[in-house]
């Protein structure tokens, strides 16, 4: 049996873990979720849930991977056998969730790729050849073009992942993330110079709790798990590549802290531009693609700025896609010892392409398929992230709690050279045993009540 790969450096782990977390979840999804839930109060709820619930569960998943040296399916099966429980389904559902999310995520990434190329064309052919007000409508009505763009994104992701954890993932992301940071810094500076910034800061950081709904807790939790890659098996996979000397709680808390900060940077970066362009919060999932290109082309240097913005957004999407595909591939290789990594990667990419047909055609061939006021792709996103993901996360957590002894948990958490780990261990233990399950259950219950009794 081939020796399992590992991170060459601790920095490499942080780069890929943060890169996986900081994808379209931060830059595309989080702003409009904040807009839907009223701004400041939801951000406060999100930050609290991320650090109080998300970080402890992230640490638990990293521990599963590091202790087992296996991906999520095999790891949860082993823990279930030790505990004598029937929660081994959680690992399988995590992988299924990863491949389904990866498939519709590829469609959104295709949108980003489309607008990036449009701005690139505008640099040479002039603004009249770039994105205009009809381009989003044309793209949405052309399902086959969306499928083609998604296919290109899937191909790029497969080529990176097929090289493996060291030759492909760590080296690739380590080279991209510094560029990503520079682009974010430039875009953030440009956004802060807009006249709408004071109004945006008031909306984002002045909490009005009356704007929260019964579903807000569930939406906050779902997005926390989505953006931290908790519940997909991603962090179990990444944990399995950690070195013995790596301290899991330190790594997990740093990833959660940086990811939460990046989410806040994202809304502060995007909302001023959205307010300036349309004077309304970014509540529509497609509004960024509909409004921002026209606004960017109306300002001096907007073509170059737009290219930088969508290049930044695409790098973020690629980072997260790599993490999702790595989950599927590593589980396939672990489950089928004879399966080569390259073949498993290409098979996974083909499955994702087949699944991407439905969200890609949701606004054309399947445009009449609507659930409530949501399209097929919007309904899929809501169902997977707000409902299924918390359930799978809870299943993985219960498997960890029942299948890992107290001595193993304590040994994995406490570092003799870090006194703070002794202090934090009782708090972490309380959260994973009581706080996390109760809050997840409450979030799901409140969403059910809101669904049944909302007008």
Instruction: Please give the domain boundaries of the chain with CATH numbers for all domains.
Output: 10-453 (1.20.1730)
Higher pLDDT, 263 or 96: 96
Residue 266, C-beta contacts closer than 8 angstroms, at least 6 positions apart: 26, 27, 30, 31
Q: Which of 38-47, 138-147, 275-284 has the lowest mean pLDDT?
A: 275-284
Higher pLDDT, 357 or 125: 357
Higher pLDDT, 277 or 263: 263
Per-residue confidence (pLDDT) for residue 134, from 0 to 100:
43
Q: DSSP string covering 274-343, please?
A: HHHHHSS---STTHHHHHHHHHHHTSTTHHHHHHHHHHHHHHHHHHHHHHHHHHHHHHHHHHSTT--HHH
Give the pLDDT band of residue 133 (cuts 50, 70, 90): very low
Give yes or no for residue 181 having a pLDDT over 90: no
User: How far is residue 156's CA from residue 153's CA, in Å, rounded to a whole number?
Assistant: 5
Q: Is 374 helix (H, G, I), strand (E, B) or coil?
A: strand
Per-residue confidence (pLDDT) for residue 370, from 0 to 100:
75
Higher pLDDT, 210 or 196: 210
What percent of the chain clears pLDDT 90, i.e. is strictly above it? 41
Give yes or no for residue 265 having a pLDDT over 80: yes
Give the pLDDT band of residue 293 (cuts 50, 70, 90): confident
Per-residue confidence (pLDDT) for residue 189, from 0 to 100:
84
Give yes or no for residue 333 having a pLDDT over 80: yes
Give the pLDDT band of residue 20 (cuts 50, 70, 90): low
Give yes or no for residue 264 having a pLDDT over 50: yes
Higher pLDDT, 352 or 281: 352
Over residues 154-182, the mean pLDDT reads 70
| Mean pLDDT over the full length of the chain | 84
Give the pLDDT band of residue 455 (cuts 50, 70, 90): low
Give the pLDDT band of residue 449 (cuts 50, 70, 90): very high
Q: Which of 299-313, 392-406, 426-440 has the lowest mean pLDDT?
A: 299-313
Per-residue confidence (pLDDT) for residue 272, from 0 to 100:
82
Give yes or no for residue 250 having a pLDDT over 50: yes
Give yes or no for residue 273 having a pLDDT over 80: no
DSSP structure class, residue 212: -
Give yes or no for residue 99 having a pLDDT over 90: yes
Over residues 163-179, the mean pLDDT reads 59
Per-residue confidence (pLDDT) for residue 2, from 0 to 100:
46
Per-residue confidence (pLDDT) for residue 259, from 0 to 100:
85
């Amino acid at each position: 049996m081939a020796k399992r790969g590992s991170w060459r450096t601790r920095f490499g782990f942080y780069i890929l873990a943060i890169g996986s977390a900081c994808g379209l979840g931060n830059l595309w999804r989080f702003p409009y979720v904040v807009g839907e839930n009223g701004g400041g109060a939801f951000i406060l709820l999100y930050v609290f849930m991320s650090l109080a619930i998300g970080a402890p569960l992230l640490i638990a998943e990293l521990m599963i991977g590091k202790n087992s040296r296996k991906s999520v399916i095999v790891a949860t099966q082993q823990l279930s056998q030790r505990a004598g429980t029937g929660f081994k389904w959680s690992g399988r559902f995590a992988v299924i969730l990863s491949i389904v999310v990866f498939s519709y995520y590829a469609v959104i990434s295709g949108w980003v790729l489309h607008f990036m190329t449009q701005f690139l064309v505008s640099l040479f052919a002039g603004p009249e050849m770039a994105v205009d007000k009809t381009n989003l409508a044309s793209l949405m009505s052309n399902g086959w073009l969306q499928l083609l763009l998604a296919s290109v994104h899937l191909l790029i992701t497969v080529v990176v992942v097929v090289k493996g954890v060291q030759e492909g993932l760590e080296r690739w992301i380590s080279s991209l993330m510094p560029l990503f940071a520079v682009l974010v810094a430039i875009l953030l500076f440009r956004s802060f110079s807009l006249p709408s910034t004071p109004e945006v800061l008031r909306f984002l950081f002045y909490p009005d709790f009356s704007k929260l709904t019964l579903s807000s807790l569930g939406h906050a939790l779902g997005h926390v798990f989505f953006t931290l890659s908790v519940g997909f098996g991603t962090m179990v996979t990444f944990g399995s590549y950690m070195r013995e000397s790596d301290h899991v709680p330190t790594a997990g808390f740093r990833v959660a802290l940086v990811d939460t900060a990046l989410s806040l940077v994202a809304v502060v970066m995007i909302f001023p531009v959205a307010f300036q362009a349309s004077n309304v919060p970014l509540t529509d999932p497609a509004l960024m693609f509909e409004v921002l290109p026209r606004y960017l082309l109306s300002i001096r240097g907007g073509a170059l700025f737009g290219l930088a913005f969508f290049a930044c957004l695409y790098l973020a999407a690629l980072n997260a896609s790599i993490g999702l595909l790595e989950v599927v591939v590593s589980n396939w290789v672990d489950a089928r010892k004879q399966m080569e990594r390259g073949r498993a990667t290409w098979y996974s990419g083909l499955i994702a392409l087949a699944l991407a047909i439905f969200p890609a055609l949701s606004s054309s061939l399947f445009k009449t398929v609507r659930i409530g006021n949501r399209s097929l792709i919007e309904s899929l996103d809501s169902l997977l992230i707000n409902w299924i993901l918390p359930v799978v996360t809870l299943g993985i957590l219960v498997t960890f709690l029942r299948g890992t002894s107290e001595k193993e948990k304590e040994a994995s958490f406490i570092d003799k050279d870090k006194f703070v780990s002794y202090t934090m261990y009782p708090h972490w233990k309380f959260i994973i045993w009581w706080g996390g399950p109760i809050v997840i259950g409450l979030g799901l219950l409140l969403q059910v009540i809101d669904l049944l009794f909302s007008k």
